[in-house]
């Protein structure tokens, strides 16, 4: 592994690859389809759904090897990584989803989702602490505006109420946000680990999710072809290709820009639900977009100052 300096005070600014930043945006776009596709999967329990979709996601990674037959052995060797890399990779993917599923079980989905959406703000703040970066007040304010946009959207769509009995669920949602932000930021520190390694992370996550399913859930198989197609779609897109794009974006792209763009996920998700006839479009969505856009403008100013 590449050794990083203990102090980042005099570290050189990181150079970003535009393609990697757009890869991060691509992951966000794919995640916007998560809610719609999930509504089409029927009544499959969460861990079973995670096991099935992450298995498909790992097959997406392995399928890319078919287009690089001359490099199969070298790609297979990418799965041989030090334990800290596996801890971050599997801990991020499985840990985040396990905590998020627990939050949905222990707290109302709207409130749990809102607390969970602290992760873009944590990424924005955390990225300012990376070598060669500086944390500015405008970045924090921009992140808070983006979070406010998400809060307005969720509050108006689902309504919010604070139930003391749901505190364990809120804590799980907060832990999930921290887990995903930590996974994202630590991935950038393992820049020499090829994205092909994510294939192994997805496969192990599928196995752990399957074990969790057997321990805590009752198996429910899809009843219709549309449910099978939705599962495959989830595994190919938001629970498959999105993680590979995200990994590349975190390692070589502008993490702060990607973090701010992440606030667009619930907005795009709502738009897709509207187009599918499963939600209504109103002034709330426009206000949410305005707040998120305002936060992005502040973020842009912080980069130029």
Helix pair angle (109-116, 83-106), 10° resolution = 150
Residue 17 CB partners (closer than 8 Å, separation 6+): 252, 253
42: left (phi over 0), alpha (psi -120 to 50) or beta: left
Taking 70 as the pLDDT cut, the residues of the chain under it are 1-15, 69-72, 74-75, 110, 129-135, 154, 156-163, 278-282, 296, 299-305
The residues spanned by each domain of the chain are 18-64+78-304
Output the six-digit token pair for 281: 């479009």
Query: What pLDDT is attached to residue 1?
Result: 38
Dist CA 179 CA 51 (whole Å):
19
> pLDDT, tens digit, for every residue of 190-216?
888 999 999 999 999 999 999 999 999
Query: What pLDDT is attached to residue 3?
Result: 41
pTM over 0.75, yes/no:
yes
Query: What pLDDT is attached to residue 10?
Result: 45
Query: What pLDDT is attached to residue 281?
Result: 60
For 106-115, letters b (16+ CB in 10 Å) and e give bbbeebbbbb
Q: At CA 110, angle to CA 231 and CA 254, rounded to 5?
A: 70
């Amino acid at each position: 592994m590449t050794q990083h300096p203990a102090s980042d005070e005099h570290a050189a600014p990181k150079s970003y690859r535009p393609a990697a930043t757009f890869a991060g945006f691509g992951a966000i776009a794919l995640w916007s389809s998560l809610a719609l596709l999930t509504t089409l999967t029927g009544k499959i329990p969460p861990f079973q759904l995670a096991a099935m979709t992450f298995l498909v996601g790992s097959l997406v990674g392995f399928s890319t090897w078919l287009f690089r037959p001359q490099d199969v052995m070298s790609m297979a060797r990418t799965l041989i990584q030090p334990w800290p890399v596996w801890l971050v990779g599997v801990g991020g993917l499985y840990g985040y989803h396990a905590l998020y599923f627990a939050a949905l079980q222990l707290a109302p989905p709207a409130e749990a989702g809102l607390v969970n959406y602290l992760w873009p703000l944590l990424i924005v703040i955390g990225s300012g602490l990376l070598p060669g970066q500086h944390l500015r007040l405008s970045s924090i304010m921009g992140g808070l505006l983006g979070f406010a946009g998400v809060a307005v959207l969720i509050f108006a769509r689902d309504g919010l109420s604070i139930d003391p009995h749901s505190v364990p669920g809120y804590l799980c949602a907060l832990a999930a946000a921290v887990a995903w932000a930590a996974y994202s930021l630590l991935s950038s520190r393992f820049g020499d680990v090829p994205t092909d390694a994510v294939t192994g992370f997805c496969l192990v996550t599928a196995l752990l999710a399957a074990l969790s399913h057997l321990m805590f859930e009752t198996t429910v198989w899809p009843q219709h072809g549309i449910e099978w197609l939705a599962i495959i779609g989830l595994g190919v897109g938001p629970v498959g290709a999105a993680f590979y794009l995200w990994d590349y974006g975190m390692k070589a792209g502008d993490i702060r820009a990607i973090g701010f763009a992440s606030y667009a996920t619930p907005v795009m998700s709502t738009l897709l639900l509207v187009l599918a006839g499963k939600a209504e479009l109103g002034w709330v969505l426009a206000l949410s977009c305005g707040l998120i856009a305002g936060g992005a403008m502040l973020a842009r100013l912080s980069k130029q100052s």
